[in-house]
Structure formats: structure tokens, C-alpha cells
Structure 1
Amino acid sequence: MSTIINVKTINRLNGFSLKPLDLSIRFLGHVSLQDIPEHIPIQVSIRLGDEWIDQLCPIVEALPADNMSESADDVSPELFPFLPLPSQFDPYNGLEWQSLAKEIEHWLLQDPALDMTHPGCYILMWELFWMAFVAVFPSFPYGQWPDWDPRIPMDGYFISDWVADLDEPEPTPVPAIVHESVWEQLKAAVDELLSMRITM
């Protein structure tokens, strides 16, 4: 069986990437056997259009359905006290982003067990931290920027893509363009995962 799925794009500094796709596969029917195998291997393949093959590389990870629902259940708006953002938040102002990055860092580190008690919340919060950090320091990892708390891993979709996009230190990113790109990604992440709209 095969099907075509449209995957949403994400605007990047030098083009676009694709949003991660959570895919669920159900199996209808049953097999009558006394000796039930522990698992049955299946083959899942992803095929991109020919024009994208050299530029995009899909990575398939198997996540049991139980894990996905637990992770989704654990991402609750109440766990993000810095949201919603104030109505006067200006996404083109670096100082606003700096204040947001510090606030996210505070909440991210306040509970040392957050990654264990609410892993979905922890992952989303550190994604949001890196978005705000990059908006403050658009040339990151080049140029000058302060050390962040080492308890926050430099990991996740956003920062991995950001660093990959900036393999070359030139040209220097234009802050306004970076702010706009990060703002759109932050709004999309919060809207999708927390069902919370952030608008100017």
C-alpha cells in the first residue's frame, strides 16, 4: 500500500525545510496463531520528488503509539508560564527576544527533573529557547554571543537546522529577516503543539 502525504514547509533563512511528520499506521485484521511472535518486521519507505532528492534527506524513527500519546499529553499550556506573550511583544526588537530567552531559560532550569516528569514540555521549551536565543544573536554560532547555561543542550530540530543552514559565516544574516523567520517558526510551534495563538 502507498499513499501521498503533503508535508508542510518551514521558512528558513536560505530557503525552506519540511516540518517533522508524525505518522500513525494501523493494522486491520488478526492472525490466529498459538505461538505469537514478539514483533513482525515491516518495511516503510519514504520517496521524495526527484527535484528534492539531493537537498532533503528523510530520517525515519519508530515511536510506539503509546509513547507519542504520552508525549502529546505532557505538553500542556500550563507548563509554559511565559506564554502567551504580551500583546506589545515586538518580534523585530532584539531586546524583546533577549527578555524572552532569559524567561524561557529560567523556567527551563527551575525544575531539574522537568526532562523526566514532562519530557514533551522540556523538549518544546528548549526548542523555544533556541529560537529566542538565535533571534537575539542572528550570527550564532559565529560572531559574539554569551555562554548559555550548559544544562540546556544545543540540540533539537530548530538549532540543528539553524547551524546546518550557516555552514559558511558569510554573508552575515540580516537581523530583521532572522527575526521574521524565527517569529513565524515560534508561532507555528506554539499554535500546533499548545493550540495557543500568538499574534501581533
Structure 2
Amino acid sequence: MFTRIRKLISKRNGNQDVYIEQMSREGTIPFNKEETMKLYHVETEEDYDALMLELEEEGCVWGYTGNKPTKDGHWYIFKGDTVIDKYDIYLGVASKGYCEKVYLNIPIQKYKTRKDKIKEDVEYFSKCNEQIMESVYEFIHQDNNDIVNNPSHYTSGGIETLDYIKAKVKDYPSYAAGNILKYVSRYEYKNGIEDLKKAQFYLNDLIEWMESK
């Protein structure tokens, strides 16, 4: 079915924007149905590989070869400027500049691997919830007998601090995962087993929270 590749090249301000279009004997796959098309921008080869695995699990194929996403490697074409377009189960690859000019009504989603997403969550919650975290640390260090798991450390004036955080934070799983990652990554050079216990506390609380949903 898939027999050829057509490259569309446009020049503006001395720059080339290239798109490898999906072609078949039946003609070009229609690209005017913007409501069903998705565009994914990948900035690293690791992000590209992760996206290909995810799209392959969804049953997608390259529109111009019919091959599975992981079989044809296209990262080298545009590298950090790579955008993958998905229409139904068919995939194409283009430059970000091309997509910004042609698909004006389609948002370009920045795709990140799960590892990058967790890192962003840690940075986000470290910044947005700094004051809340300082309050939690104050409660944690009030009693040296049980620095991690004593519920009194998380209570002030009858208000459960973690319950307060859960009520205020929109994405508690990411908040908890961020704390788990933070404590595990720093335990060797900061607070040792104390940090591991804190990570364990947030892990257990996250499991309990998810099981209650």
C-alpha cells in the first residue's frame, strides 16, 4: 500500500522547513481534519525513543512505509526540532517550524519521558509549595523520639498537615512522588537513613491514597 515519500520544502527567511508527507496508492491521507490530529515535539533522542514505544503500543504505523514506529528511525533528520504528527494510527515526521506555520490551530505538545516528567514535578512542587514544605519540616522535627512516622508531627491545632496539603495540591501523587525522589536521591550525602524513612513514609502514604480511590 505504501509506495513513496514526498518531501515538501518551503523557504522563509533563509530557513528550510521540511515535512515527510504520508503517501499511498490511494492518495494522500487527508490533513484537513485538525480536530483529530496530534502533534508531539520531542527535544531529545531519549524522548523520541520513548514516544515511539508508546505509539507502537497504541498500534500506530508510519504512514509512508507501514512499518512500526520503532523500526524506522527519524530522529537524525530534525533532532531537537522533531515533531511527530499522528492522524488516526498513521504517523509522519516534520520540523517544528513547519508545523507552526502549517497547523495553526493544532497545539504542539511537548513530549517528555516519565523520568523527565518526575524531574519537572519535583522542581514545580519545590518552588510552588516551598512554604508548605517548610511547615511540614517544622512539624517533623518537633520530636526527636520519632522523627518520621508519629502522627503528632503532622498535626497543628487539630489540622492534619498532610490532609491540608492534599486539599490544596491538585496533583498529590506527583507531590508525593517528588518527595520520594528527593529524599532517596539525597540520603547518601545528607541525612542518611532519616531521609530513607521520609521517602518510605511518603511512599506508604501514596499507596494508601491510591488504594482509597
TM-score (ref. length: structure 1)? 0.27
* Larger helix proportion of the pair: 2
Higher normalized strand content (fraction of residues)? 2
